[in-house]
Amino acid sequence: MGQLILVRHGEPGLKPEDRLAGWVDIPLSRRGIEEAFECAAELGKLELDLAFASNLARTQETLFIILSGQKKTGAVVHEGAGDGEDPGKTDWYSYPEKLGKKLIPIYLTPALNERYYGKLQGKNKQKMEEKYGAEKLASWRWNFEPGPPEGESLKAVYERAVPYFEKKILPAVKAGKRVLVCAHQSSLRALVKYIEGISDEDIKNVRFSTGELAVYSYSDGRLIRENSEMSPESKKNL
């Protein structure tokens, strides 16, 4: 039986409660590293087969910390690197075969990136609330659409994340693999909307804390969530 594990990266250096990080490529904070180790401990008994992360450092750092807890060596798959004769058709791996089960293929993709915040990119949340109003800012952040000025709505993120999920991630889960996806608030909300059939209206109530996990099992042709959603009072770093 395949499993899908979704995890939001640990707290980044630009603290989520202070800044709208978006595509700003920043590493984890000290707390973020601790959260990643907490994820590693929670997943310690689950042997992963395959992993995906965004193109941004905070998801990749989180992923490699999780893999270290499993004593796994991550090997990045360079999709479509080709062999010089048939470019675009060959995935290129660089690792010694003797590693066997200690190795886990990793796919890095911009399809799982956080939303692009446009004019709000990297800006202080409080100042943006003062400029645009708290209600408007909340609408841009949590509603399905529209997005912030010159930035991506959640709908736009959905339209890039879900097709990649259907093509690359879901087939592996259906094949019985245990797959880890390390991504961001917006890209994870988009995937959960698709997986659980959440409406455009109700998706505004779905949030991921930094370091939060969502675990799904594939059974009877669908993904079923195993762990319950965190209670509102326990959510942080939103």
Domain locations along the chain: 3-230
Q: Which two tokens stand for residue 53?
A: 């992360």
Average pLDDT over residues 208-223: 94
Instruction: Read off the pLDDT band of 17 (50, 70, 90).
Output: low
Catalytic residue among 9, 11, 35, 212: 9
pLDDT at 236: 38
Which is higher by pLDDT, 110 or 47? 110
- CA torsion sign for 35, 36, 41, 43 is positive
User: Residue 187 above 90 pLDDT?
Assistant: yes
114 is catalytic: yes
Compute the half-sphere exposure of residue 104: CA atoms within 13 Å on the CB side of its CA: 25
Listed residue (108, 109, 20, 10) closest to 61, CA to CA: 10
pLDDT at 232: 37
Question: Cβ neighbours of residue 27 under 8 Å, at least 6 residues apart?
Answer: 12, 13, 57, 58, 61
The listed CATH number (3.40.50.970, 3.40.980.10, 3.40.50.1240, 3.40.640.10) that belongs to domain 3-230:
3.40.50.1240
38 is catalytic: no
Q: What is the reported pTM? A: 0.87
Please give the single-letter amino acid code of residue 95: Y
Distance of CA 222 to the CA centre of its chain: 20
pLDDT at 88: 41
pLDDT at 215: 95
Catalytic residue among 114, 152, 184, 212: 114
Average pLDDT over residues 100-116: 90
Which is higher by pLDDT, 185 or 94? 185
Contact 160, 55 (CB under 8 A): no
User: Residue 91 above 80 pLDDT?
Assistant: no
Average pLDDT over residues 215-226: 93
DSSP SS3 for 62: helix
For β-strands 50-53 and 178-183, DSSP reports them as parallel
Q: Work out the mean pLDDT of the chain and round it to a whole number.
A: 87
| pLDDT above 90: percentage of residues in the chain | 71
